[in-house]
Structure 1
Amino acid sequence: MTRPRRWVLGVDSGGSGLRIALGSVRDGDAGGAAGGGHGGGGRRDGGSEHGDRRDGGAVAPGCRVLTVAIHEIGEPLPTGPGGIDAGRLLERLVPTARRLLAEAGAADAGATGASEEGRAAARGPVAVAVGAAGTAGLGDRLRAELPGALRETLGVGRLALASDAVTAYAGALGPRPGTVVAAGTGLVALGTDLVRWRRADGWGHLLGDCGSGAWIGRAGLEAALRAHDGRRGGSAALLARAETVFGPVAGLPGALYPRPDRAAVLASFAPHVARCAAETGDPVAAGVMALAARHVAEAAAAVHPREGGGVVALTGGLCHLGDPLLVPLRAELGRHLPGTRTVPAAGDPLSGALALAGWLAEGVVPLPREPGLLDTYGE
Structure 2
Amino acid sequence: MLKMKKIMSLVLAVVMLISFVGCGAEEKPASEKTAASTEETEKKAEEPAAEPVSDPIIIKLAHYAEAGHPADIAANEFAEKVEERTEGQVVIEVYPANMLGSPDEVLEQNILGALDMSLPTQGHLSKYSQKFATVMMPFVFNDYDHVYKVLDGPFMEWASPDLEAQGLVFLSNWDWGFRNITNNQREINSPDDVVGLKLRTPPEVQLQAAMEALGANVTQIAFSELIMSLKQGVVDGQENPLSVIYYNNLFEAQDNLAITQHVYNSMVNVMSKKTWDTLTEEQQAIVKEESINAGNKMRTMMQEQDQELISKLEAEGMKVTYPDRSLFKDQMQPAYDAIADYAGQENVDAFLKMCEDNQ
**TM-score interval (norm. to shorter):** under 0.3
TM-score, normalising length: structure 2: 0.28
TM-score, normalising length: structure 1: 0.27
- Which one has a larger percent helix, Structure 1 or Structure 2? 2
